[in-house]
Structure 1
């Protein structure tokens, strides 16, 4: 089952639905995707029952898909694919093999499908990241890997938009990323339930203006999602609506390829079993007058030219 948050035609209030081919079946009784997830397995069972009845349905072309979780409870993003680490940083730190390293994302800057991705004024190197995220559907604390696996409600595509120049400036201080990441994360187009998605076999690809730049899978993760979730839960309670990105697949971003997206580009991330998450890259924000100017001194007064 592929669950969505959507706006029906002429209705400003988001609703929960299920994708059925080229239509969206409404799932009445849920106030939000978070409400559905907080009901646990019973909520998913009710959603399946409602989807099978299909009392109200809309053509997909007539609705607006939002991020499946427009405001996750929390978001964490891991770096679990060795090829991505090696391509991005050269040597792989020894601790990477021992610890599921991650950073905490900003759940207040999530954007959905077909939304314009912001281009912060302080970056000349905006980048995409081709990822899959697991979404928690049950409370967890000190869970075993088996319990963690059972608590995954489903999976969605995760695009960790990255301002590479300021990201590496931040990380040179030994902290971050923050300004380099927290301005936007795309989720969508749906939440595919765990029983309908194969994490070991699903192929992934990124297209820029229709040209394939990246291809891969998440089958080569150093730590599995259940292992990561169990490790997190040892000292941190986890809750329905928590989102955990698995990290970029190998060669899954422009940084690894030394190819850079431009204003106006259309970025499409596709994952078998989930769908296509599409965003258009916005125009760079004007620098303006700021007390603290985050641009590098060498780029102040310059702007990224349109493609």
Structure 2
């Protein structure tokens, strides 16, 4: 199923897309007495039984619960996930991005080339071997989740907004000490993630050595829908694209991942466990930012991230 969260009659609802995404079955309205349709998180936590009930409603297509998707406001499929980890499942992008950060930091020096060589020699802008050995991640603020067609504004004192093209897996059930061979069975579904960055602020903050902080936490966009795992035969063979005002800026593939979602789930389950509804974002695919290409977003730009089998996540940069 292709599941969405949307607002109708003043409240959030859970729906399933039909007819090539031209119709929505409002699951909340179709079964108002069923707690599993109170929110997307409730549906995920209800387990296989909830999905079976949802599939029955989709098959029945109750006419009183059919909605025009263009007539309602879509939200992030999981507006308030219990946890979000942004991982380095793609490592190729990181190596390129670190060198570009060093080059930009060195640009203000009297001898930029010499300053760049010194920064690279410091090791701070070279990808650490640990990235290839295990899944590294940082925690994303789950209170700063945005959705399809939301307008995205940079944080205070930042002007250089950038997109990051990512795929995310949503965990379907709680688990601890999960065997790697069993970890795929813990994926509920997949969505698109735009891990927005304020590049000018990020470059300043990273010089402190304490991380990106406010340059990342202002907004992370998920959507447009949450596609259940059974509808994604191979999550590691999906084309990924980013367009700005209709022009393609980025092209990549999930085939270039260094680590899989199963590896991430198995690793995380050994340290505190994983929980139904938590989001595991992949990190950025190679070439998946404007920063990589030396291109900058402008106020009013329309950014579209597209992944085969999931859809297109669209947002506008604030004016």
TM over 0.5: yes
- How far the C-alpha of 1:79 sits from its partner, in A, is 1.6
Distance 1:235 1:71 in 2: 23
| Residue in 2 that maps onto 1:116 | 151
Instruction: Name the SS of the counterpart of 2:55 in structure 1.
Output: helix
Distance 1:40 1:168 in 2: 42
Where structure 2 has 5 or more consecutive residues not aligned to the other structure, the ranges are: 100-125
**Deviation by residue 1:250-291 (Cα, 9 ceiling, x = unmatched):** 1000111110111100001111111110001013xxxxxxxx
Where structure 1 has 5 or more consecutive residues not aligned to the other structure, the ranges are: 284-307
Matches for 1:296-307 after TM superposition, within 5 Å: none
Matches for 1:224-243 after TM superposition, within 5 Å: 224-243=260-279
Instruction: Name the SS of the counterpart of 2:256 in structure 1.
Output: coil
| Residue in 1 that maps onto 2:105 | none
| Residue in 1 that maps onto 2:230 | 195
RMSD across aligned positions (CA): 1.2
Q: Say which of 152, 158, 165 aligns to 1:130.
A: 165
Q: Say which of 111, 114, 133 aligns to 1:98.
A: 133
On the 8 A contact 1:140/1:148 being kept in 2, the answer is: no
**Deviation by residue 1:125-161 (Cα, 9 ceiling, x = unmatched):** 2110000000011001111123321010000000000
On the 8 A contact 1:67/1:188 being kept in 2, the answer is: yes
**Deviation by residue 1:99-119 (Cα, 9 ceiling, x = unmatched):** 211100001011110110122
| Residue in 2 that maps onto 1:52 | 59
On the 8 A contact 2:224/2:311 being kept in 1, the answer is: yes
**Deviation by residue 1:218-248 (Cα, 9 ceiling, x = unmatched):** 1221111001111011011211110010011
Structure 1 or 2: larger helix share? 2
| Residue in 2 that maps onto 1:298 | none
Matches for 1:14-33 after TM superposition, within 5 Å: 14-20=12-18, 21=20, 22-27=22-27, 28=31, 29=34, 30-33=37-40
- How far the C-alpha of 1:32 sits from its partner, in A, is 0.2
Distance 1:139 1:98 in 2: 25
| Residue in 2 that maps onto 1:175 | 210
Instruction: Name the SS of the counterpart of 1:97 in structure 2.
Output: helix
On the 8 A contact 2:171/2:186 being kept in 1, the answer is: yes
**Deviation by residue 1:40-74 (Cα, 9 ceiling, x = unmatched):** 12222222121111212111211211100001100
| Residue in 2 that maps onto 1:261 | 297
Distance 1:175 1:44 in 2: 42
| Residue in 2 that maps onto 1:290 | none
Distance 1:80 1:52 in 2: 36
- How far the C-alpha of 1:97 sits from its partner, in A, is 1.0
- How far the C-alpha of 1:165 sits from its partner, in A, is 2.0
Q: Say which of 82, 93, 101 aligns to 2:91.
A: 82
Question: What TM-score do you get using the length of structure 1 for normalisation?
Answer: 0.89
Alignment coverage as a number of residue pairs: 281
| Residue in 2 that maps onto 1:38 | 45
- How far the C-alpha of 1:178 sits from its partner, in A, is 1.3
| Residue in 1 that maps onto 2:102 | none
- How far the C-alpha of 1:172 sits from its partner, in A, is 2.4
Instruction: Name the SS of the counterpart of 2:191 in structure 1.
Output: strand
Question: What TM-score do you get using the length of structure 2 for normalisation?
Answer: 0.85
Greater Cα shift, 149-158 or 82-91 = 82-91
On the 8 A contact 1:26/1:54 being kept in 2, the answer is: no
Distance 1:224 1:74 in 2: 19
Greater Cα shift, 89-98 or 15-24 = 89-98
Regions of 4+ moved over 3 Å: none
Instruction: Name the SS of the counterpart of 1:107 in structure 2.
Output: coil
| Residue in 2 that maps onto 1:303 | none
